[in-house]
Amino acid sequence: MSSKLRWHPFLKEWVIVAGKVQERPVLPARNACPLCYGGVEVPKPFDIAVFENRYPSLTKETSDIIPWEDDLYKLEGGRGVCEVVLYTMDHDSSMSRMPLEQIEKLVLVWEDRYKDLGSLDFIKYVFIFENRGEIIGVSLHHPHGQIYAFPYIPPIIEKEIKSSNEFYNQKNKCLFCSILERELNDGVRVVYENKHFVAFMPFYGRYPFELHIYSKRHLGSLPEMTYTEKMYLAEIIQKITKAYDNVYGFNFSYMMVFHQKPVKGDFPNYHFHIEFYSLHRAKDKIKYLAGVESGAGTFINPLPPEESAELMRDSIRRL
């Protein structure tokens, strides 16, 4: 079934209406994992595997959808690609438990997918992400991430581009480089730093344990990184996911999203970063998004970033 996009007339953004997603398997038993080697998706042994999502929210083929628009509503085919990235054959592993070399290879796979999907003429944005944990709504536990290749620039990215352009026009410098400089100066929210990347809980974090990883060098996407930078990116991702799991001693639920520049066009003021969001606000407490976040668009963060940064630094010390 082809994916459809419906235009939200007052939020001015697309909503994906995807019928087939409802048929997704929900937490199959251990021996029925479709992502394990020998399962339905990957018949052969693999190291890292990428395949198209069987239940895509965006579909490659939408020629059966006739786009229409009247004076109020608009509908188009949701033409895009949804891929699943299997991090490892080991069902019980996770980003935090994988050897560093495996994450290094994964970074190269992400770069390859960004370039490859980005070269498709109908794709404007390649979005790499991982949902981890049942409280985030993950239906399969096998370590994996996903990639959505969009036919448009998603609204959050669009907003970030707009803000960074405005900032540059006013101050003649990069918004993200300025944030990084400020966070390094303030210091209290910095969690970890290696030669090429910094991880910090941003001053303005919306979620408890929200953490951002910025490249120290001003660059927009994975292909612009040197090989060395990519290896350091793997290192900091490993450190941060280990630190999350070690905070309370259980598998930490999170969303990890890559914010890179769009694949077509020129975005000199955009700056590569990764954002992690969590819903844990204490060892046995979960922050649910509810009326104020969903209905008013204002986030209430119950855990100040300075406190979560200290918890994360302590977690790293105990690793």
Cite the annotated binding site for Zn(2+) by residue number: 33, 36, 91, 142
| DSSP letter, residue 59 | B
Closer to Zn ion by Cβ: residue 91 or 242: 91
Which segments within 211-290 are labelled E, that is strand?
Answer: 211-215, 254-259, 273-277, 280-282, 285-286
Q: For residues 4 and 273, which CB has a smaller minimum distance to Zn ion in the complex?
A: 273
Q: Which residues are known binding-site members? A: 33, 36, 91, 142
Comparison of 77 and 305: residue with beta carbon closer to Zn ion: 305
The Cα–Cα gap between 160 and 185 comes to 23
Rounded to the nearest 10 degrees, the angle between the axes of helix 305-317 and helix 227-248 is 100
Residue 90 or 310: the one with the smaller Cβ distance to Zn ion is 90
Residues noted as catalytic = 144
Half-sphere exposure of 192 (CA within 13 A, CB side): 25
| Least Å from the CB of residue 144 to Zn ion | 9
Q: Shortest distance, CB of residue 224 to Zn ion, whole angstroms?
A: 12
Instruction: Reduce the DSSP state of residue 314 to 3 states and report it.
Output: helix
Closest to 221 (Cα-Cα) out of 195, 258, 257: 258
Residues comprising the chain, all counted: 319
Chain residues that interact with Zn ion, rule: CB under 5 A: 33, 35-36, 91, 142, 174, 176-177, 218, 259, 271
Q: Which residues contact 175 (CB under 8 A, 6 or more apart)?
A: 163, 164, 167, 168, 269, 271
- Work out the angle between the directed axes of helices 227-248 and 100-118 (0-180°, nearest 10): 120
CB of residue 175 vs Zn ion: minimum separation in angstroms?
A: 7
By beta-carbon proximity to Zn ion, the closer residue of 18 and 177 is: 177
The 3-state DSSP class for residue 182 equals helix
Q: Which two tokens stand for residue 318?
A: 């105990």
CB of 179 to Zn ion, least distance (A): 9
Beta carbon of residue 225, minimum distance to Zn ion (angstroms, whole number): 13
